[in-house]
A and B are shown apart, each in its own frame.
Chain A
């Protein structure tokens, strides 16, 4: 089971490096990094007596893989019981890693955008068109998907460096995955890192990645009630892109209602109607990105 994203049974992979993390029975944790090029199926990697084992590693094309077996702890005899107050935030570890990512990006005066949507909202198509129009700006892309490196390949074909994170059965990116992916991307001082999250309107909401802003993309084909059905992700967004606006003549979507619904869960949410196909809204979107870059430069 993946430690950072427990949904999968050790199937998260990031392109571009190799690290193993081990937790021993005494609770100590250590990690070591090394690189190798051969495919490395997870199931074959578990040595007997080595169950408590976290790792992520590279598959074909340099993909990294996370995994964890069940912790094997012995339970000595019981003593007296005690009640201990803890008051600890379960997401504290992710949040600390996110803070580290954020500090690292701030030092490089880099704008980092976490793009979230349901599957098929048009994130990658929009991103490819965006990158095409950002020629000359330093950019890098982190692509999150359960499987395949199709999206990273599309981004690379568009001329931008990209690293694919495969989450296996995992349903979202987390701060550790993004930190590791950043290790494998060129620095883009003064530029933009786009993080295309796993297509999912639920789980990514809970995980801070260290991004500067969260952009939620809802396509007109999804209808106007998405913000009310999945309020968590809209409530944490800084910008709503209403995508595939070129399809409006063909679908029953009241975009005014979609936007009003989004603003019910996120008052004052900025909105851009956008179409990668016709170019509608792209100028506003690029201006929004540019304003963010300027803010990142002022902070850095």
Chain B
């Protein structure tokens, strides 16, 4: 389950930034997960609590926000929304799509004390 590696990287990143801000604790962490990325939000949430144990981030609330998938449709010559890879273009039903957004795994904010 690669979500554990990502959770550890995420907690490490937040801890590093929190230290830089002179924080004693991290209370909440905002996380953006793209729908077309390689991360299952529930699996990530499950891993984050464990990954945070013993760090400044222990006990923090992780607010995971899903970001929509977007793709460029070559047939429509337009950007369209895409729920999952392999799904057809909602406009023309075709598959000539290039993913244009919604693959991210980003830390957006942290609330520190």
Contacts and interface: CB of A to CB of B under 8 A. Distances in A.
Interface string B95-113: 1111100001111111111
Contacts of B39: 206
A91 B111 contact: no
Interface residues of B, number: 50
B108 A86 contact: yes
B43 to A, nearest CB: 10
A72 interface: yes
B105 A90 contact: yes
A47 interface: no
Given A7-B5, A27-B16, A76-B24, A235 B85 contact: yes
Contacts of A88: 13, 17, 106-107
A270 to B, nearest CB: 16
Interface string B45-67: 00100010111101000000000
A76 B10 CA distance: 22
A232 B38 contact: yes
Given A6-B7, A231-B85, A86 B14 contact: yes
A228 B1 CA distance: 19
Contact of A7 (B2, B9, B13, B85): B2
Nearest to B99: A235
Nearest to B21: A84
Contact of A6 (B8, B13, B85, B86): B8
Contact of A85 (B6, B56, B85, B109): B109
Contacts of B55: 71, 73
Nearest to A72: B54
A243 interface: no
Contacts of A83: 109-111
A48 interface: no
Interface string A68-109: 001111011111111111111111111000000000000000
A73 B6 contact: no
Contacts of B107: 86-88, 90
A90 B110 contact: no
A263 interface: yes
B113 A265 contact: no
A4 interface: yes
A227 interface: yes
B27 interface: yes
Given A70-B53, A88-B106, A227-B86, A78 B25 contact: yes
Interface string B1-36: 110111111101111110101011101000000000
Interface in B69-113: 74, 84-86, 95-99, 104-113
A115 interface: no
Contacts of B9: 6, 90-91, 93-94
A261 B88 CA distance: 12
A49 to B, nearest CB: 14
Contact of A81 (B15, B86, B111): B111
Nearest to B18: A84
A228 B58 CA distance: 37
A167 B108 CA distance: 30
Contacts of B10: 90
A75 B19 CA distance: 11
Contacts of B85: 231-232, 235, 265
A82 B54 CA distance: 21
5 contacts: A87-B106, A88-B107, A202-B2, A232-B38, A261-B86
Interface of B: 1-2, 4-10, 12-17, 19, 21, 23-25, 27, 37-39, 47, 51, 53-56, 58, 74, 84-86, 95-99, 104-113
